[in-house]
Amino acid sequence: MPLIDSSPIRQDTEALRQRADQDGYLLFRGLLPANDVIDTREQVLDCCERHRFFSSPIVHDDGTMDLDRLRAYYEEAYRLRSVHALPKHAAIVDVYTRLFGRKAVPHARTVLRTMPYGTRQVWPVHQDYLNVGTHNEVWNSWMPVGDCPSDLGAIWMLPGSHRLGVRGNHLLDEKELFFEATGDLFNHPPAGFHWQTDDLNTGDVIMFNSLTFHRGGPNQRPDEFRISIDNCIQPIDTDFIAGAFELHTGDFGKFNQGVGWDQIYEEWPEADPLKYYWQQLDLNFADSIAVEFENA
């Protein structure tokens, strides 16, 4: 089933809120200027090239990725200003300002994902509150960095599932953590909802509530990488966790170790307003909520 494009109701606050309440996600086709996305894509692909991703595969025979090479690449790509700027584009923030009815503050912890063909290390079904440590009006924006047909491994949504609230999650062991090559899921999506995805194009952005169940899709295109960025955001007067303004350390918790924003910003313009922007804001911080696992 295709995802619904909310572009026609983008300026209609009431309609936006109703759809957000009903579906737990909002897709906007062509929200970002294509040039900005293409420029980011070129910089990321250059980085892939420098790390020989195209000439020397980074996926092992068992479907796991070569984490040492992925880390070296990620730590370089994470310094690209456009990787951080794209998901904080005014067009995105404006939608959230309308949706929340007050200032929306993006997390600094941008996530760049570079998914090779053949890996089984694909995100399984989850709700983002697990990662963001809170769920009070937190949303995530997911954008392909370039065209992303569904077989390149777009994102899958379970519309309406946010209405279930916080659900017990299974703690997955190493073997279960990701899709197997068959695409079977190991986590347990709630019953009564229907998975939806779509071909996504340059400039499209999917926004979803941190309680909406979703998952990544496996990249089934040999020789191509699925490149995407995701970035959470929440209203200024809600509680933030400190991690929202820390560097993303990779899905395996071992990237960007011993690195701080000063290093990330090294090549950025000196008076760049994107640097440490959250320090200018009066924000409340709280501890992460305790996540309970049914099988812990």
Ligand X SMILES: O=C(O)CCC(=O)C(=O)O
Contacts to ligand X by CB under 6 A: 113, 123, 128, 140, 142, 155, 214, 216, 228, 230
Query: Of 22, 24, 28, which is closest to residue 7 (Cα–Cα)?
Result: 28
Of the two residues 198 and 230, which places its CB atom closer to ligand X in the complex?
Answer: 230
Q: What angle do CA 143, 149, 78 make, to 5 degrees?
A: 35
Residue 216 CB, nearest distance to ligand X (Å)?
2
Of the two residues 89 and 214, which places its CB atom closer to ligand X in the complex?
Answer: 214
Residue 230 CB, nearest distance to ligand X (Å)?
4
Residue 245 CB, nearest distance to ligand X (Å)?
18
Which amino acid appears at position 275 of this protein?
Answer: K
Of the two residues 71 and 113, which places its CB atom closer to ligand X in the complex?
Answer: 113
Host H or E run for residue 27: strand 25-28
Q: How many CB atoms lie within 10 A of CB 237?
A: 13
Residue 218 CB, nearest distance to ligand X (Å)?
9
Number of helical (H) and strand (E) elements in the chain, helices listed first:
7, 10
β-strand pairing of 155-157 with 25-28: unpaired
What is the number of the residue whose Cβ is closest to ligand X? 216
Of the two residues 93 and 130, which places its CB atom closer to ligand X in the complex?
Answer: 130
Host H or E run for residue 23: helix 13-23
Residue 279 CB, nearest distance to ligand X (Å)?
25
Of the two residues 13 and 199, which places its CB atom closer to ligand X in the complex?
Answer: 199
